[in-house]
Amino acid sequence: MRSLTVSSLAGAVLFLFLTALPGSAVGAPPFPEAAAGADAAEKAGDGDEDLDEDLLEELFGDEEEAEEILIGDPLEGYNRAVFWINDKFYFYLAKPVARGWRAVAPRPVRTSLGNFFSNLFAPVRAANCLLQGKVDDFGNEVGRFMVNTTVGILGFSDQAKKMTGIGPKKEDFGQTLGVWGFGQGFYFVLPLLGPSSLRDTTGLVGDFFLDPIYWSAPERQILYLAVKGGNYVNTTSLDKDTYEGIKRQALDPYVFIRNAYAQKRDADVAK
């Protein structure tokens, strides 16, 4: 029992540092993609073209609105330091690796892999739908998982969406806590993961223990991190340089992303 507890805690710590933020349940790259939600890369396309300005506006809204203070930031000094580290990690490691993957893997391959990862995370989405009392969405997630795992060949093809037009429901435990009445708390930038809040950081741990991938193998931490890391690289390879666009356009990218994140998460809870 003691070894299980220590192992679980160690896995949780590694998860907070190495997986991707479930702004909408599926691990997306940190920084603006995380603030925008896990479907940002899907909307962005294959990343082989210039930045889509319409996409940027859709994801983050008007910059003047984003400059309003929407969430407390008592740890701003620390958060800005981590933001700087994340920025360097993104440009000097994450993005080059993702570009390398983009160069060797055609878009259909990366899209299919993204579908596979999304299907793996369906149980977490379904659990959060149920915890939020969204019974119809819970049924949709369960149905999608069954169809995509079988007809869709382990989820590599999103046959459920092709058949019904219903996509995945972007739900995570941070949103569940919001539905239960918990506020966002203060802003918090996680190493490698990017923007978060006290509530959503707590939600990350909840999703971690809800995820059947973590409990599916003896070396579950290694498997879990490998899945999340693969999803991170693949999703980043599908992004159209959204973060680069933010840095070019925003007067203060830190403030812009902080408030865009708070707006997005409020909208996620309210929907």
Sorting pLDDT into bands at 50, 70 and 90, what band is 50?
Answer: very low
102 versus 34: which is more confidently predicted?
Answer: 102
* Residue 166 lies inside a defined structural domain of this protein: yes
If you average pLDDT over every residue of the chain, what do you get?
A: 80
The predicted pLDDT at position 209 comes to 86
- Kindly report the pTM of this predicted structure: 0.76
Side-chain half-sphere CA neighbours of 112 within 13 A: 10
The predicted pLDDT at position 7 comes to 44
| Range with lowest mean pLDDT among 61-65, 97-101, 208-212 | 61-65
* Measured distance CA(239)–CA(98) in Å, rounded: 9
* Measured distance CA(92)–CA(119) in Å, rounded: 30
The predicted pLDDT at position 43 comes to 47
| Range with lowest mean pLDDT among 42-51, 66-75, 244-253 | 42-51
What is the arithmetic mean of pLDDT over 149-172?
A: 94
Sorting pLDDT into bands at 50, 70 and 90, what band is 14?
Answer: very low
Diameter of the chain measured on Cα atoms: 53
* Residue 147 lies inside a defined structural domain of this protein: yes
What is the arithmetic mean of pLDDT over 94-107?
A: 95
CA 224 to chain centre: 15
* Measured distance CA(61)–CA(101) in Å, rounded: 30
68 versus 21: which is more confidently predicted?
Answer: 68
DSSP H stretches of helix in the chain: 2-18, 32-36, 40-44, 53-60, 63-66, 76-89, 95-104, 107-120, 122-131, 135-150, 159-164, 173-179, 198-210, 220-237, 242-249, 253-270
The predicted pLDDT at position 47 comes to 42
The predicted pLDDT at position 57 comes to 52
Sorting pLDDT into bands at 50, 70 and 90, what band is 226?
Answer: confident
Sorting pLDDT into bands at 50, 70 and 90, what band is 36?
Answer: very low
Nearest partner of 127 among 19, 182, 208, judged by Cα: 208
* Residue 4 lies inside a defined structural domain of this protein: no
Cβ distance 240 to 45 under 8 Å? yes
DSSP 121: T
* Residue 15 lies inside a defined structural domain of this protein: no
Flag whether pLDDT at 251 surpasses 60: yes
Number of domains in the chain: 1
* Residue 115 lies inside a defined structural domain of this protein: yes
Show the tokens assigned to 206: 């909840």
Cβ distance 224 to 120 under 8 Å? no
| Full domain range(s) for residue 59 | 26-270
What is the arithmetic mean of pLDDT over 33-46?
A: 42
The predicted pLDDT at position 217 comes to 64
The predicted pLDDT at position 94 comes to 94
* Measured distance CA(231)–CA(112) in Å, rounded: 11
Residues present in the chain in total: 271
